[in-house]
Amino acid sequence: MSGRKIWAAHLALLAVLFALQYILPPYHATNLARVMVLALFATGYNLAFGYTGLLSLGHALFFAAGMFAAALPAWHYGLGAGPALLLAVLGGAGMALVTGLLALRTAGVSFMIVTLMFAKAFHLILIYFNQWTGGDQGFALPAASRELAGQALSQDGPRFLVAWTLFSVGLLVCLALVRSRFGRVMVAMRENEDRSRLLGYNPYRVKLLVLVISGAYAGLAGGAWAILFGYAGAGFAEIQYSILPMLYVLLGGAGVVAGPILGAAAMFWLVELAAELTSAWLFLVGAALVVLVLFAPKGVLGWVRARFWRDLP
């Protein structure tokens, strides 16, 4: 399949997402904005896990780092939304750089535990300095910091637009990245690290770069969450927020560009649906993880790729 068709398919997906804000009732349109921010987060996770094979259990660290990099200056110094989002990207990427420098010395199970531990430590730090960070209760962002180009982001229209724009940029950058030469090197790291080292690539540097990019995605998503929905709290650094992007990626299809948005949307509305029947939504998350790992490790789009569309990126 030609490159043009692949780009057309992804642009069509973005167009459909954009159109949905006029079709869906307002309540669900806001939910879609949430889903797109979560999918942005999961797209970053997909770059690390799906393409490069870095199974991290600490992405909440980058999400929360971005969130607080944006929200703390906004709260304490009244920083505007634009610079705050920029800080969020830097916060997530910087945190990923520091984490990666240390954690990438390990691999496999050790890498998972080390990233888990770092995320846990950051969560505890946020709670420890609670007079600065709001701790477990968190804080609401001032309205002045939730304005972009004169538009209040607490309103449905602008909020949806910002979420959609950020997600679109994230998706297209991801698509361009995985179709580039560097994208092939990433997959080579996942498939056979020894062989790619033999071919002259430095696995440590490739993985570090991917982790930093992934952290930048996560940080941007965290900052966007705080600014769009007006709340930041230490709870976002909890293990759950490392597990969720993994779940979205696994469900939608690891190593597929459009996997995270599909997984995020499916899981979000599944939980929403279940919430009407029972409060036990964590049970659903747990069961989904087990079932996916057992019966469908490739996810929905992974299956589509295997059966119908061989070169879906």
What's the closest the beta carbon of residue 140 comes to another protein, in angstroms? 24
Q: How far apart (Å, rounded) are the C-alpha atoms in residues 264 and 5? A: 24
- Min CB(251)–another protein separation in Å: 12
Least separation in angstroms between CB 114 and another protein: 5
Nearer to another protein, 52 or 145 (CB): 52
Q: Which residues contact 287 (CB under 8 A, 6 or more apart)?
A: none
Task: Decide whether 137 or 180 has the Cβ nearer to another protein.
Answer: 137
Q: Count Cβ atoms within 10 A of the Cβ of residue 13 and give its class: 0-12 exposed, 13-18 middle, 19 or more buried.
A: middle
* Least distance (Å) between residue 117 CB and another protein: 4
**Closest CB to another protein among residues 125, 306:** 125
d(CA 253, CA 251): 6
CB of 297 to another protein, least distance (A): 7
Which secondary structure element, helix H or strand E, spans residue 277, and what is its range? helix 259-277
**CB closer to another protein out of 40 and 247:** 247
- Least spacing, CB of residue 293 vs another protein, in Å: 5
- Beta partners for 140? 231
Q: Given the rule CB under 8 A, which residues bind another protein?
A: 55, 57, 102-103, 105-106, 108-110, 112-114, 117-118, 120-121, 124-125, 127-128, 243, 246, 250, 278, 280, 282-283, 285-290, 293-294, 297
Structure tokens belonging to residue 21: 């804000």
* Integer CA distances (angstroms), 286 to 96, 206, 279, in order: 27, 32, 14
Residue nearer to another protein on the CB measure, 1 or 282: 282
Question: 3-state DSSP helix/strand/coil percent for the chain, to nearest 5?
Answer: 80, 5, 20
CA angle 236, 76, 130 (to 5 degrees): 45
Which residue number, 57 or 163, has a Cβ lying nearer to another protein? 57
